[in-house]
Amino acid sequence: MIDPQEIMDARNVGEVRCVLISEESQDLNRVLAQAGLRPDSSLLIEHDRTTAHSILAAIIQKDMPYQMPLMSKAEADGMADMILSAHDKPGSKYYSNGNWETREGWHPLGESSFDAGVIVTYGEGRYFCVWFEDKD
């Protein structure tokens, strides 16, 4: 498992939020609220693992406002793989507020100018949220 401080040190801009949530109701609005995000699950898009990995790597590799590189693509891919591998299981579902790999359909859920992340469901009522916020 990757230490959240390692993500922050590597990315070195904005905020990083890593939250483990137990929510038996399986209500994504409640999951978002517990993660400190706007509780509007209608803004989430379900993705497959490959796309979730690509989104996460894109967010980690570059800052969101200006797309300035923060690390190599290989480093970002490795970090995204470590994050997802530590928190997904067969049957997991992956959600994001858009697709930062293609920069399409972004819906803000945080309070910063730019925010994005991935929420992983794994098991009955178990969630992992990794969320990034950058200011312009």
Domains of the chain plus CATH, in order, are 4-134 (3.40.1460)
Q: Give phi and psi for 128, each to the nearest 5.
A: -125, 130
pLDDT, mean of each 10-residue run, the chain (136 residues) = 85 93 96 98 96 96 94 97 94 92 81 95 93 92
Which pLDDT belongs to residue 4? 85
Which pLDDT belongs to residue 136? 81
Which pLDDT belongs to residue 29? 98
Helical axes 4-11 vs 49-61, angle rounded to 10°: 50
Prediction pTM value? 0.94
* Pairing assessment for the beta strands 93-96 and 15-22 based on DSSP bridges: unpaired
